[in-house]
Amino acid sequence: MIEQGAPAFDALFNRAPAVTADAPGRVNLIGEHTDYNGGFVFPIAAPQRTRIALAPRADAVVRGWSRDVGDEQAWIEFRLGAEARAGTWGDYIAGVTAALREWNIPCGGFDARIESDLPLGGGLSSSASLEVALLRGLRDMFSLDLDDVVLAKIAQRAETGLVGAPVGIMDQMAASLADEHAALFLDTRSLAYERVRLPPATSLIVIHSGVVHRHAGGEYRVRRAECEEAARRLGVRELRDATVGDLERAALPPPIDRRARHVITENDRVVRGLAALKSGDAQQFGALMVASHESMRADFEISTAEIDLLVGLARDADGVYGARLTGGGFGGSIVALADAAKAVDAAARIAAEYSRRVPLHPTVLIP
C-alpha cells in the first residue's frame, strides 16, 4: 500500500525498479523465548507485510530509502565490504549483505525502496519481515542459489551479527515459511515444521499496545544469558533438554529458577498447543495461551502493566478463548483466539476500554 505522497522508486532513484518482493510479519501464537533455547514455537504469518523494490547498481554501493522512519532517517547508504554498525535501520540492510558474504553468496550494489504496514517494534517482527523481503528481492535480482530455510538463517545472522540483537530463528523462519492460513509449528533445533490450521469458526485478535519495544536493548539479552546460565547449571545443552523434575532437583537460585521454569513449561505448552489445534479444540488452546501469559508475566518477567491490562480485557471479552503477550515482550502486541463471529466486536471493545484506561493509542491489527 503506497500512502498518498510517498515517492515511488522512480522518483527516488531516477529509474525503474528491476524487482519487487515482500514478506509478512508474524504473530506467535504460543512459545515465547523458547527459540534460542532449542525449543518449539508456533507462529502464523500476519496479513501485514514489508514490501521492497530493488534495482542493481554498477558500483559496490547500497542506497536505501524507507517510507516508515521519518524524513531525516529515510536514507541510508554504505559500501559492500565496509558494512559497520551505525545504530540505524540501515544495519538491517548492511547486516543482510554482510551475512551473504559470510555464506559466500555474491551480491552486487543496489538501490532499495522499502515500505511496511507492520508496526516497527510492535512485536510482529517487522525486522525479520524486512530482512526476508530484502533477501527474496536479492535472490530474484542476482539469481542467488538460496532455499527458504537458508534464507531464514542468513536473515537471522543479519540480526545477531551486524545489528547485534541475539535473537533466535523463529521470526526469520516465520517470515520465510509461514502463511496466513495455517500456523507453523516449528522445532527450532531441527528446523522441522508442520502447518496446522486454526480451529473452525475461530479468528485471531491482535492488538498493538502502543508501546514500542527494542530487541537490541538490554532485557532481551539479559533473559538470553539467564537461560544459558540455567542450562549450564542443569548440565544440559539447552533448556529444551531439561524437565520440570530436573529443575526441582537442581534448586537453582532466583531469578534463574523462574526463567528456566518459564522456558521448560512453555515448551510443553507449545507441544500441547499443537495437539489442541490438531483436534480443533479452541477452548484448550485458549487455556494454554492464558497459562503462557501468566508464565511470561510472573516467571520470565517480560510483560508490562499495559500488556497485562490488554490481556486481561481480552481474556474477559465475550467470545474470546484465551489471550497472551506475543513477541519478545516489554511492550508490543497481544494475541487472542476468539469466536470468528465475535472477533471484530470484541477487538473494538477491548481497544476502546484500553484507551479509556491508559493514555495510549492501541491499534487493532487483526481482524
Does 144 sit near ligand ADP (CB under 6 A)? no
Question: In angstroms, rounded to a whole number, what is the distance separating the alpha carbons of residues 99 and 105?
Answer: 9
Q: Is 130 in the site for ligand ADP (CB under 6 A)?
A: yes
Least distance from ligand ADP to the Cβ atom of residue 129, Å: 7
Among positions 24, 199, 327, 362, the unique one binding ligand ADP when judged by CB under 6 A: 327
User: Smallest gap, in angstroms, from Cβ of residue 93 to Mg ion?
Assistant: 14
Is residue 68 at the binding interface for ligand ADP, with CB under 6 A as the rule?
yes
List the one residue from 116, 176, 188, 295 that touches ligand ADP (CB under 6 A).
116
The yes or no reply on residue 236 touching ligand ADP (CB under 6 A) is no
121 is an interface residue for ligand ADP by CB under 6 A: yes
- Cα separation, 145 vs 151, in Å, equals 10
Is 246 a residue of the active site? no
Nearer to ligand ADP, 215 or 259 (CB): 215
CB 179, min distance to ligand ADP, A:
19
Rank residues 66 and 127 by Cβ distance to Mg ion and give the closer one: 127
Q: Does 65 bind ligand ADP (CB under 6 A)?
A: no
Establish if 295 lies at the interface with ligand ADP (CB under 6 A). no
Check residue 125 for interaction with Mg ion (CB under 5 A).
Answer: yes
User: Is residue 122 close enough to count as binding ligand ADP by CB under 6 A?
Assistant: yes
> Could you say which of 35, 91, 111, 171 is catalytic?
171
Residue 333 found at the interface with Mg ion (CB under 5 A):
no
Positions that interact with ligand ADP (CB under 6 A): 50, 66, 68-69, 89, 92, 114, 116, 120-123, 125-127, 130, 214-215, 327
Query: Among all residues, which ones are annotated catalytic?
Result: 171
